[in-house]
Amino acid sequence: MSNVVTNWAGNITFGARRLHRPAGLPQLRELVAAGGPLRVLGSGHSFNRMADTTGDLISLADLPRIAEIAADRRTVRVDGGIRYGELADLLDAEGLAVHNMASLPHISVAGAVMTATHGSGVRNGNLATSVAGIELIRGDGEPVTLRRGDDDFAGAVVGLGALGVVTALTLDVVPAFELRQYVYDDLPRAALEQHLPEILAHGYSVSLFTDWSSPDINHAWFKRTDELPPGPLFGARPADGPRHPVPGLPADNSTEQFGVPGPWHARLPHFRMEFTPSTGAELQSEWMVPRERALEAIDAVARVRDRIAPVLQVNEIRTVAADELWLSMNYRRDSLGLHFTWIADTEQVLPAVAALEEQLAPLAARPHWGKVFTQDAATVRGLYPRFADFRALVDRYDPRGVFRNAWLDDILGA
């Protein structure tokens, strides 16, 4: 490639020979049929080498945009290159919504689905749970369509890019709705001990942010369908100005706060679509633990607070509902998510990551597929009851190994 291609954060420089941007499905099928190794590059918002390859990268950004709303207005079919911000605008214009969004509306829908990326909410499944149908080009260049209820569907949705190139997704949609976003400062540690389940359920979506400079929570963000009364909440006080999730950063690119009602897509993300949320000078890690052990997990992080705080920008604590997708971090368990935004220094961050993993291991913590973790692949495989079935699915859909890379070989145990 004449130009260096990196991920969003810049900590990964891809080793690909070429970057292809097919403008249509025939060209895409030809690329796959010609053989690999190939990997698909979404919005680049991953922090490890899952999308890297010694072969060729494929971007779906130039595919024709698709947003086909079903006659019953319960689903929408979208192309494999669309991003959540684009989808939100298209759906909202039709009076529709998706049930959840991630913190960033800038990420690609297919990339988020392939890694079981999430929003927040005790009753909200991750973004992959809205998938009702998936269309992909498998390793021999042939198209495959799977629908919810098909034998392979639950294994293919969170597919890590191992089964093929996702060309289209059919997503569940709901009527558009409004939310209000409230931010509170200085949630005391004692409130977590006394009211943690209630706090986490106190909104459609709830996020707690801390830099672990103290045992308390810096900010609590509640996204609600109704209005909250003025005054303190769980011992925290209403913020006296707009907040950025990272303490001390300007809040210009954060979504509207102070309980001002607004459309779902302008409140569910933490950041506005029209702004780049940051320079990308960061690394990210995340682990999902059983929600019934939430306070244990927070205590586990607190035990290594002094080791992680020097390299931490912010830790977000949130919830995700259980699902039936084989490689979802939330497979068959309601989860507490512990998301860490680190400084952009891999050498300094990795010891902090390892320290967290040691503390969280007794809780069977599942790492986010697209973020920084050091758990060995055998340990990760053991966290997923259907992993052997997934490996067999990969062998059937891509027997030539067109979509394999070193990261995937390690994960699969090849």
Q: Residue 99 falls within a domain, yes or no? A: yes
Tokens standing for residue 4? 């260096």
Residue that has been written with the tokens 């103290």 in this structure:
214
State the CATH number of the domain containing residue 86: 3.30.465.10
Asked if the structure places residue 353 within a domain, the reply is no
- Residue 344, domain member (yes or no): no
Is residue 335 a part of any domain in this protein? no
Angle at Cα 309 formed by Cα 304 and Cα 314, nearest 5°?
115
Q: pTM of the full predicted structure?
A: 0.95
Count of domains observed in the chain: 1
Retrieve residue 46's tokens. Answer: 């991953």
Query: Rounded to an integer, what distance in angstroms lies between the CA atom of residue 357 and that of residue 375?
Result: 7
> 95 is in which domain, residue-wise?
67-176
- The neighbour count for residue 70, using CB atoms within 10 Å, is 12
5 found inside a domain: no
**Residue 139 maps to a domain:** yes
Q: What is the pLDDT along the chain (414 residues), one digit of tens a residue?
A: 556 788 877 888 888 889 999 999 999 999 999 988 999 988 778 888 998 898 999 999 899 999 999 999 999 999 999 999 999 999 999 999 999 988 777 888 999 999 999 889 999 999 999 999 999 999 999 999 999 999 999 999 999 999 999 999 999 999 999 999 999 999 999 999 999 999 999 999 999 999 999 999 999 999 999 999 999 999 999 999 999 999 888 898 899 999 999 999 999 999 887 666 555 689 999 999 999 999 999 999 999 999 999 999 999 999 999 999 999 999 999 999 999 999 999 999 999 999 999 999 999 999 999 999 999 999 999 999 999 999 999 999 999 999 999 999 999 996
Q: Is residue 172 part of a domain?
A: yes
165 domain residue, yes or no = yes
